[in-house]
Chains A and B, each alone.
Chain A
Amino acid sequence: MKFSDFVANDAVRSHVHAATKEGVIREMAQSLVDAGKIAPGDLEGIVKAIMKREDLGSTGIGRGVAVPHTKHPSVNKLVGTVAVSQQGIDFQSLDGEPVQLFFLLVSPPDRPGDHLRALENISRQLRDDSFCRLLKAAKEPVDIQHLLEEADSHGVVS
């Protein structure tokens, strides 16, 4: 699976304003509403579901990266977005480091395989240090979009 298969380009953000875990999740979910990927009426339910998942264990997987996510019946295909926090946010990550790079995923409840393949793509690309560093240094959403496109075309695609 490629980033272009699930990342909503219009929802990508290079400078999130939020300074808290729930704040950044809400801001990213709102960006998916603004991009027309989720319905405004589903925003609260999706934010709550993602926070409930975080209560089971942080999705801050280390290296300044988090993958907040949930299943939600309102989507019929996997949707996601990418955001960067310039200052970093305390996400109770495994390694204790603040998180700068966020990949938010909302997947249909009956498609666990798609969710796995999106996580696989994200984690495989993030093993590339320069990809990670360049994403965190993005000045504009378009910089992130270009990096994702580059990863899609030059990365090892399985």
Chain B
Amino acid sequence: MNARSPESVRDAAGGLQQEETISREVVVVNAAGLHARPADLLAREARKWQSRIAFVNDSQRADGKSILELLTLAAEAGTRLVVEATGPDAREALDAIGSLFESRFNEHENDQES
């Protein structure tokens, strides 16, 4: 499946609607990288939205709603990822996810906890 191509899907009312994938780049800026807690935060945020959400790096795609898959990205500080959202609330989902990255997942660099 080409994630970039519009897909025809049936909405709840049974009608046809077009779904397009939109994407944006995010950067892991917190020092500890995308470890368990950020992965948890991201998956929780992604699950709030109807859209399908994927994180893509050079070599793989991860389902944004799965902590297990997010952890397989092993994204260290400085890593750039592309987030793709496909669905009716894709724009809002991307904004919310982008904000989490920008807020460094609410981590302070001197925290001992990971």
Contact = CB atoms under 8 A, between A and B. Distances in A.
B9 interface: no
Interface residues of A, number: 30
B71 interface: yes
Contacts of A59: 36
Interface size bucket, B side?
Answer: 20 to 34
Contacts, number: 76
Contacts of A113: 33, 76
Interface in A82-117: 94, 107, 109, 112-113, 115-117
Interface stretch (A8-16, A33-41, A49-57, A139-147): A49-57
Grouping DSSP codes into helix (H, G, I), strand (E, B) and loop, the B interface class, with mixed when no group exceeds half, is loop
A61 B36 contact: yes
Contacts of B40: 57, 61, 94
Given A49-B112, A52-B113, A56-B113, A69 B36 contact: yes
Interface of A: 49, 52-53, 56-57, 59, 61-63, 65, 67, 69-71, 94, 107, 109, 112-113, 115-117, 119-120, 122-124, 126-127, 158
Interface of B: 31-37, 39-40, 43-44, 66-69, 71-77, 112-114
